[in-house]
A and B are shown apart, each in its own frame.
Chain A
Amino acid sequence: MKTIKILGTGCPNCKRTTEVVQQAVEELSLPDVSIEKVEDIMKIMEYDIMSTPAVVIDERVVIKGRVPSKGEIMELLKV
């Protein structure tokens, strides 16, 4: 099972990132994925990032500081 976390304090870019991730997951129709939005700044800081939004897959930061494209997320999820 894969856990995807979206780290962000609720700015428009963070919301867009969440949408992109959801679309990517739907398109791949992965069965076993949980998507979690992390908005608590203290939790966010545990990942040692300095710019949001960020995407974390299985506790590994894969995107930070920008809104990824759908294709990018799909690539990252296939591995």
Chain B
Amino acid sequence: MFDWIQQFADWLIYRQIGLERGRRLAEALNFFVYDSIKILLLLFVVIFFMGIVNSYFPIEKVRNFLSRNKLYGLEYFMASAFGVVTPFCSCSSVPLFIGFVRGGIPLGVTFAFLITSPLVNEVAIGLFLGLFGLKATAIYVISGVVLGMTAGIILSRFRLERYLTPWVKEVLANAQREEEKFTAENTPFFQRLPVIWREAAKILKGVVPYVIVGIAIGGLMHGYIPEGFFEKYMSKENLLAVPMATVLAVPMYSNASGILPVVQVLVSKGIPLGTAIAFMMAVVGLSFPEAMLLKKVMSLKLIGIFFGVVTLCIIVSGYLFNLIF
């Protein structure tokens, strides 16, 4: 399916620029051109389709759905699954949190959404498809959903309401089931498309620099680091590798678009996929800027519990990945 991109990269590097096949620089550049085109293409396709889904399921609809339906435990799954298709920028985490709580949605369910949403998003899925293929992407999405769900259920057992800041408790006391306030838009499909297209282009434009830099770093490492270089330090047999990679990654912050191309090279050089994914999830899913924002609605203790539970879940899914692959 992507042969034509490889042909283009070969043509550009070997014919046009005239670099010799097999030289390090040539191979690194070839890899860079091929990967950039393929990944940006896939990214756009995924972002565009997620845009269509999102146009029909905006966040208000998600909240109303979760608020109205008692689903006997299934609501954790639904919240987590909605987290995949609903994009949200970390600066929205507080309004989102309050909005959910105000709609009478339990804290655990709210957390399930808050955890999955940054972890598995359209950009991450697009990149994953381009870098690791369909099977790994499916497993990644599923494990992201399960992770959010599990963490949400565990968190709900802690009786976390105690640790909210006073004004959120007040909101909680006045919480009510959301009536059908949401006015459904009846814009026909073809009128939605231009808007969705523009949004997708805007998102892509925003992540392009990160992706290019990520792929460039990846390309350099690809060309210059010997095969199996990391295997010595981070093999599957080394049981400490997953927790170490995760804990190291928590204070780091980047978005999926910057980190994934680098992760792919790490994997191709011998780091087990599970370890690499645990690292990536911790970088993307947990961040200090987000913690600072959440301080407005949660006590430090709750933020600590939240980060602790998510870190544990990431470590577990890292081990699982290593078992599967």
Contacts and interface: CB of A to CB of B under 8 A. Distances in A.
Q: Are A and B associated in one complex? A: yes
Interface of A: 8-11, 13-14, 41-42, 44-45, 48-52, 65-67, 69
A50 B167 contact: no
Contact of B63 (A41, A50, A66): A50
A66 B199 contact: yes
B74 interface: no
Interface stretch (B16-24, B90-98, B140-148, B241-249): B90-98
A63 B322 CA distance: 44
A13 B95 CA distance: 15
A38 to B, nearest CB: 12
B59 interface: yes
Nearest to B167: A42
B301 interface: no
A69 B293 CA distance: 27
B296 A11 contact: no
Nearest to A14: B91
Given A50-B59, A50-B60, A51-B59, A41 B95 contact: yes
A65 B92 CA distance: 8
Given A42-B167, A51-B59, A66-B199, A9 B91 contact: yes
Nearest to B59: A50
B106 interface: no
Contacts of B59: 50-51, 65
Interface string B219-236: 000000000000000000
Contacts of A45: 95, 98-99, 171
B1 interface: no
Nearest to A48: B99
A13 B91 contact: yes
Given A41-B296, A45-B95, A67 B202 contact: yes
A69 to B, nearest CB: 8
A65 to B, nearest CB: 7
Contact of B92 (A10, A42, A48, A50): A50
A50 B95 contact: yes
Contacts of A13: 89, 91
A67 B202 CA distance: 10
